[in-house]
Amino acid sequence: MSIIPSPYTNPEAWATFIVGGSAMPGVLTRVGMPRRKYEYAIQNGYGQGKVVIYRATGILEGIEVEHYIEPPDDTTPGDWDLWEAWMQSMIKGWPAQFQGKPPAFPAVHPAAQIVGLKRMSLAEYGAPVQKAENDPAYWYTVHFIEYAPDKKIKTGKTEPAVINGPPTPTTAFEGVLLGALGTALGRPATSRNVAPTTATATGSAT
């Protein structure tokens, strides 16, 4: 069984572009899906000519989806109201409001599946247009961009290393070992948590 729906045996899957769980209104006439690109750097190797180093996976830009807006007739109201409602779902407060970051929506279409497109955001839109003079039909085209959020890197807290003074003994056995080490090195094993005594003019310790 094929993973990607075949346009020959399953044309219905190719005839609908689903964004955010709802099919885009109108008759789908074209899907302009960009190619998935991988970014590499070519550098000079050591004694082996050029080497290729993988850098990143490119972002899908300029995803273009075009639909024909069916006009109303005696039996159907047409697709204009559906297109207007869909635009309002894409941009909150549209058409009065259009600023701000558009949300990201899941994308479902065989062409999107082929290039690994899962989520996308609205990148560019315009008014529906007529393709020919005196043509009563209108088309609308929408451009999307692949959604790629920032990935925050978690950093762990590192305790600073203690470099002043020998370690503090925690058991009697460790105290004996530190005392023996100090004797061998010719200096006392002073705890870093206890200030050393200083000699007075009379030679007594304070």
pLDDT in tens, 23-37: 999 999 999 999 999
Q: Confidence band (pLDDT; 50, 70, 90) for 155? A: low
Task: Give tens-digit pLDDT for 35-82.
Answer: 999 999 998 877 778 889 999 999 999 999 999 998 888 888 889 999
**List of residues 6+ apart from 125 with CB closer than 8 A:** 87, 90, 140, 141, 142, 143
pLDDT at 198: 45
Q: Confidence band (pLDDT; 50, 70, 90) for 168? A: low
**Average confidence (pLDDT) over 102-131:** 94
Indicate if the alpha-carbon torsion angle 81, 87, 93, 98 is positive or negative.
negative
Q: Is 28 exposed, middle or buried (0-12, 13-18, 19+ CB in 10 A)?
A: middle
**Average confidence (pLDDT) over 151-164:** 57
Nearest to 35 by CA among 112, 118, 110: 112
Q: Confidence band (pLDDT; 50, 70, 90) for 152? A: low
**Average confidence (pLDDT) over 90-116:** 91
Q: Confidence band (pLDDT; 50, 70, 90) for 92? A: confident
What are the phi and psi torsion angles at 12 (to 5°)? Answer: -65, -35
The 3-state DSSP class for residue 188 equals coil
**List of residues 6+ apart from 40 with CB closer than 8 A:** 52, 53, 54, 55
Helices (H) and strands (E) in the chain, counts: 4, 9
> What angle (nearest 5°) sits at the alpha carbon of residue 72, between those of residues 69 and 77?
100
Least confident of 96-100, 151-155, 162-166: 162-166
Q: Is pLDDT above 50 for 97?
A: yes
What percentage of the chain reaches a pLDDT higher than 70? 72
pLDDT at 78: 86
Confidence (pTM): 0.68
